[in-house]
Amino acid sequence: QQQVKQSPQSLIVQKGGISIINCAYENTAFDYFPWYQQFPGKGPALLIAIRPDVSEKKEGRFTISFNKSAKQFSLHIMDSQPGDSATYFCAASIGSGGGADGLTFGKGTHLIIQP
Amino acid sequence: DTAVSQTPKYLVTQMGNDKSIKCEQNLGHDTMYWYKQDSKKFLKIMFSYNNKELIINETVPNRFSPKSPDKAHLNLHINSLELGDSAVYFCASSALSGGQETQYFGPGTRLLVL
């Protein structure tokens, strides 16, 4: 059972464009939704995270939009740059984001920003 | 100044062997984890551990066992390696701060079983 579904699997965006990655979850107990960025040969690194008490969170060029009723959340990368090319994972967890169950990850989106 | 480190970075071994992967964190975190990333890049938690409790994902074979000699280390022992164990294994650690528990990942250990 895949509890966090992520799409698209791969995405190509022109430099300066907006990259959008979507995730949907099934477990209504999830209350912490981070996005991780992974470069080739490296471990995932936290990019931005949101809790369901807000509908949007913005940090620089990165924005999470959250729709609790639809059980969906998305990552928007504004003014996408070649350096943003990486694999992006959405994740979800119960509670603060750690502890017993860890993070449940989506399957990842391979993002390529073309110069 | 590495936060979460793993050794070795690459591990190539024969089927049936027993191997260990070491993980160390210098962040003072209380909780550590092991994740497995398969060839399709799917990340799945295997274990979470703090100094009081080990939580095992029920899908993890008992050939895998975490060992924590102290709070800063969580090593992964794998017995009777199988071809399907080939993957990248990530160690992570976390601590609660500002209401959320950010997990910091190590660089990964690429295991290839022949």
**Structure token pair of residue A95:** 């509670």
Alpha helices in A40-91 (DSSP H): none
Interface contact A18, partner B, CB < 8 A? no
The reported pLDDT for the residue numbered B98 is 66
B22 vs B41: CA distance, rounded Å? 21
Contact residues, chain A, for B56 at CB < 8 Å: none
- One pLDDT digit (tens) per residue for chain B, 114 residues: 669 999 999 999 999 999 999 999 999 988 899 999 998 888 998 988 886 678 777 789 999 999 988 889 999 999 999 999 999 999 999 877 666 678 899 999 999 999
The yes-or-no verdict on residue A52 having pLDDT over 90 is no
Q: What band does A112 get if pLDDT is binned at 50, 70 and 90?
A: very high
> Amino acid identity of A45?
A
The reported pLDDT for the residue numbered A3 is 87
Interface contact B25, partner A, CB < 8 A? no
The yes-or-no verdict on residue A23 having pLDDT over 80 is yes
The yes-or-no verdict on residue A7 having pLDDT over 60 is yes
CB contact under 8 A, A49 and B42: no
Contact residues, chain B, for A36 at CB < 8 Å: 105
Which of A3, A32, A105, A110 is most worth mutating to test chain B (most B CB atoms within 10 A of its CB)?
A105
Q: What band does A102 get if pLDDT is binned at 50, 70 and 90?
A: confident
SS3 B49: strand
**Structure token pair of residue B11:** 């591990």
Buried b (16+ CB within 10 A) or exposed e, A67-93: eeeebebbbbbeebeeebbbbbbbbbb
Interface contact B3, partner A, CB < 8 A? no
Beta carbons within 8 Å of B21's beta carbon, 6+ residues apart: B6, B7, B8, B11, B75, B76, B78, B89, B91, B109, B111
Query: Phi, psi (5° rounding) for residue A15?
Result: -55, 135
Contact residues, chain A, for B103 at CB < 8 Å: 46, 97-98, 102-103
